[in-house]
Chain A
Amino acid sequence: MPKHVLSCTVNDEAVEVLVQPYVTLLDALREDLNLTGPKEGCGTGDCGACTVHLDGQPVASCLMLAMQVRGRQVRTIEGLGGAEALHPLQEAFVRLGVPQCGFCIPGVLMAAAAVLTENPKATQEEIRYGIAGNLCRCTGYTKMLAAITEVAGTLSAKGA
Chain B
Amino acid sequence: MAVMKTTREIKGIGLPIPRPDGPEKVTGQVLYVADIKPKGMLHAKLLRSPHAHARIVKIDTTRAKALPGVRAVLIARDIPELKRKAATRAHAILAIDRVVFAGQPVAAVAADELAIAEEACDLIDVQYEVLAAAVDPLKAMLVGAPPVADAGTEADTSEALAHSGVAVAKTQTAPTKAVNISQHAKLARGDVAKAFAESDVIVEKTYRVPMVHQGYLEPHAVLAQWDGNGQLTLYSSTQGSFNTRSEVADVLHIEENRIKVIPVECGGGFGGKIRALCEPITAILARVTRRPVRYVMTRREELEAGMPAPQVIIKLKTGAKRDGTLMALDGETIIESGAYSGAVLTMSAVFVSSVYQFPNFEVRAYEVLTHKPSIAAYRAPTAPQTFFAIDSQMDLMARELGVDSVEFRLRHLMKEGDPMANGQPWQSNGARQVLQRLAEHPLWKNRAAWKAKSGQDGRGLCGTGLAVGGWIPGLQPTGATVRLNPDGSLQVLTGQVDIAGTNIALAQIAATAFGIDIDKIKITTGDTDTAPMTGLSAGSKTIYTVGTAVMQAAQDARRQTLEIAAKEMEAAIGDLEIEDGRVVVRGVPDKGVTLASIGKKGNLYMSKVPPVLGVAHPAFAVQAPAFAAQLA
Contact = CB atoms under 8 A, between A and B. Distances in A.
Interface stretch (B97-105, B216-224, B418-426, B464-472): B216-224
A51 to B, nearest CB: 11
Given A82-B27, A100-B500, A105-B25, A137 B18 contact: no
Interface in B501-540: 501
> Interface residues of A: mostly helix, strand, loop or mixed?
loop
Contacts of B219: 41
B114 to A, nearest CB: 8
Contacts of B500: 100, 138
Contacts of B29: 37, 78, 83
A97 B18 contact: yes
Given A102-B21, A103-B267, A137-B268, A93 B26 contact: yes
Interface stretch (A42-50, A123-131, A150-158): A42-50
Interface string B186-219: 0000000000000000000000000000011111
A13 to B, nearest CB: 16
A97 B501 contact: yes
B22 A83 contact: no
Contacts of A10: none
A74 B601 CA distance: 53
Number of chain A interface residues as a range: 35 or more
A76 B267 contact: no
A45 B235 CA distance: 27
B27 A37 contact: yes
A47 B113 CA distance: 24
A62 to B, nearest CB: 10
Interface in A72-127: 76-78, 80-83, 86, 89-91, 93-95, 97-106, 109
A102 B501 contact: no
A109 B219 CA distance: 20
A31 interface: yes
Contacts of B16: 97
B215 A99 contact: no
Q: Which 7 A-B pairs have the closest CB atoms?
A: A37-B28, A103-B267, A94-B22, A77-B28, A102-B25, A36-B35, A99-B25
Interface of B: 1, 16, 18-19, 21-32, 34-35, 37, 113-115, 215-219, 265-268, 270, 296, 298-299, 499-501
Interface of A: 20, 22-23, 27, 30-31, 35-44, 46-47, 49, 76-78, 80-83, 86, 89-91, 93-95, 97-106, 109, 135-138
